[in-house]
Amino acid sequence: MLTKRLLFLIAVSAMGFFFTERFSFADDDWQLPDTPAEISDDEEIVLGKQVDEYIRHQFYLEEDPDFNEAVNSIVQKVVAASDRNTIPFTCAILQSLSINAFSAPGGHIYLTYGLLKFAQTEDEVAGIIGHEVAHVSLRHASKLYHEVMEINSQDEGGLRSAANLLLLNSHLEEFEQDADTRGVLYAQKAGFNPNGLLDFLERHLNFMMHRRFFGMTDSGFTTTITARLNHLRECLSNLEKSNN
């Protein structure tokens, strides 16, 4: 049986656009026995179904068929342009006013109602979806899971130690940048403006700064966000040059 905290970690491998929570774990009484570093597609799909079941018990889902059809149409276009389009991707819209998106192993993508209302164009939505599809394509959740298990096996204090938290956070930042880079490429290949993700992230950051959200005065957090945005700008610049 999945513990809630470990399960949510598996689901959310750096998935929040501006994720500021500190990680803390109680126990890990569930883990994949003798799992290799690269799990198979079938194993990942099974794991993803467990995560999806948990998520669906925690949130109400948006049932409007037209809304879901419009979003999933974008999802399928982006998935078709991705590196891993042989697994069955699905997208659920969560009835939450928070602005967030995340994904789980096996092709499960979750977008909040608040995020979709905050987005101004299909290009922005496609960029966000591309980012989440990239997390799945690059197997970030699986890699993060194994990182957690390896740390816990080597250190009695596990993830409670500051050093291990720094190590994990460094991987989260790396995963976010990788997903940005690959995601904007997917969006462009699917026929959308690749600048959509950057437009959304910049406006979201300004919104959070204006509302004085928690953590926004933390210089380390600000540095992390700035580095991510600069990396995305450089990626988009190189993409534009390659297309000229």
Span 104-155, pLDDT tens digits? 888 999 999 999 999 999 999 999 999 999 999 988 877 776 666 666 666 5
Query: Tell me, what's the pLDDT at 11?
Result: 45
166 vs 7: which has the higher pLDDT: 166
Q: What element of type H or E holds 110? A: strand 108-112
Query: Tell me, what's the pLDDT at 48?
Result: 86
Q: What is the 3-state secondary structure (H, E, C) of 136-165?
A: HHCCHHHHHHHHHHHHHHHCCCHHHCHHHH
Place of tokens 């799992």: 35
Q: Which residues, 6 or more positions from 66, have their beta carbon under 8 angstroms from its beta carbon?
A: none
Q: What percentage of the chain has pLDDT greater than the value 70?
A: 69
In the numeric block, which tokens belong to residue 221? 């957090």
* Inter-residue contact 229 to 205 (CB < 8 Å): yes
Spatial CA neighbour of 192 closest among 56, 76, 18:
76
pTM for this model (two decimals): 0.81
d(CA 164, CA 37): 19
Write down the mean pLDDT value for the chain. 78
In the numeric block, which tokens belong to residue 231? 């990396």
d(CA 103, CA 33): 23
d(CA 232, CA 211): 24
d(CA 137, CA 106): 9
Span 28-81, pLDDT tens digits? 333 334 444 566 788 888 888 888 988 898 899 999 999 999 999 999 999 999
Residue type, 216: M
Query: Tell me, what's the pLDDT at 199?
Result: 96
